[in-house]
Amino acid sequence: MKRSTLLALPPADLARSVVALGEKPFRAKQLWRWFYQRYETDFDAMTDLSKPARALFKERYHPLLPQQVRVEASRRDPSRKFLFRFADGESAEAVFMAHEDRTTLCLSTQTGCPLGCAFCLTGRRPGRNLTPDELVGQFLSLVRGMAGERVNVVFMGMGEPLLNVEHLAAALPFLYETVSPKRVTVSTAGVLKGIAALGRVRPLPRLALSLNAGTDATRRALMPVHTYTMRELFEAMLAYPRKPGERITLEYVLIKGVNDTDAELGALFDLLKPHRRVFKVNLIPYNAVPDLPYEEPEEARVDAVGRMLARREITVTVRRSLGRDIRAACGQLAGEGLGPP
């Protein structure tokens, strides 16, 4: 018998699926709690379901989660990279990052990325959009056994989230059962229509922009999605709804000799100067990718750039990527080993 999925179904649809199997509607509420509050997808573990109900759901709907094909643990930091394979053979990677005070899950929204940013390995795979149940399945795979623990979720893995904004918006309510919207961040390379569309989602997740340049010419060379002007991009970001005092994160991957020059950073400052209370900058030293002609800047240069922005009253942090030794860092995910190239 062909199995479908119960994940990412709105409550009414979940109830209809349960009733269609001959079970009572209240079973849907039980399943909802197990899935999205207790992070449990093994029907055998759902002890408040009768044994016949467990057997029925297991026969009709198991497995619910994508196949976990490979897990790689960093030897340098507490991060792990997961490779998932979906029903059609496509694959995507997600990263689990444990910090002293929090856990962050970096999830993918596509099985590749069509944007083709020059410095990013993911952009070398075209891929497809992940469906709502695949998005939720990634999340539940990573948080199993963590019910009650605080987690942050960032959609910064494989793919451009705002090219999949409809499915992303459909998946968010299931995460919001246990994760506050203020701890969910969606990162975009700058899809203007997608920024506007995400701004209509309620509750709103936080927004981050992968900027990576101070001038139109440099950004266009690095990121083909940049077919407009910097000022148009900033206008779209400034229009994104946010709470008083809430800032939008600008991610700036520092690439030696490309976007870390005084001229490029001076142009960045000119853009930020009128909006210093709106944006904050995350400096990310470039993570090397084989066969790409870019280099990581020296540590002294990274520190100098951070000090320069801070002197100009720009809120800035330097983000040291985790998982570099297992190619789990920013720009290194590629779903290698499975699925169409």
User: Count of domains in the chain?
Assistant: 2
Residue 185 lies in a domain: yes
Ranges of beta strands (E only) in 99-200 are 103-106, 151-155, 184-188
Instruction: Point out the least confidently predicted range of 233-242, 255-264, 332-341.
Output: 332-341
Mean pLDDT computed over every residue of the chain: 90
Sign of CA dihedral 249, 254, 257, 261: positive
| Residue type, position 57, single letter | F
Residue 71 lies in a domain: yes
Same domain, 159 and 15: no
Same domain, 141 and 279: yes
Domain that holds residue 249: 67-326
Last residue of a domain, one of 24, 44, 61: 61
Sign of CA dihedral 109, 114, 116, 121: positive
pLDDT in tens, 79-102: 899 999 999 999 999 999 887 778
Residue 27 lies in a domain: yes
pLDDT at 206 over 50: yes
Q: What is the dihedral of CA 281, 286, 287, 292, to 10 degrees?
A: 140
Region 201-230 average pLDDT: 96
CB 314 within 8 A of CB 336: no
pLDDT in tens, 240-264: 999 888 999 999 999 999 999 999 9
Residue positions annotated with a catalytic role = 93, 330
Residue 81 lies in a domain: yes
Q: If you ran DSSP here, which 8-state letter would residue 44 be given?
A: G
Ranges of beta strands (E only) in 134-221 are 151-155, 184-188, 206-210
Q: What is the dihedral of CA 272, 274, 279, 284, to 10 degrees?
A: 10
Same domain, 55 and 176: no
Whole-angstrom Cα distance, residue 80 to residue 97? 7
Confidence of residue 2 (pLDDT cuts 50, 70, 90): very low
Reduce the DSSP state of residue 226 to 3 states and report it: coil
Ranges of beta strands (E only) in 183-246 are 184-188, 206-210
pLDDT at 5 (0 to 100): 87
pLDDT in tens, 174-186: 999 999 999 999 9
The CATH code of the domain that includes 258 is 3.20.20.70
Same domain, 50 and 94: no
pLDDT at 322 (0 to 100): 54
Whole-angstrom Cα distance, residue 134 to residue 34? 18
Residue 157 lies in a domain: yes
Relative to beta strand 151-155, strand 248-254 is unpaired
Reduce the DSSP state of residue 214 to 3 states and report it: coil
The CATH code of the domain that includes 37 is 1.10.150.530
Whole-angstrom Cα distance, residue 282 to residue 137? 29
Region 318-327 average pLDDT: 58
Same domain, 20 and 165: no
Same domain, 74 and 222: yes
Residue 94 lies in a domain: yes
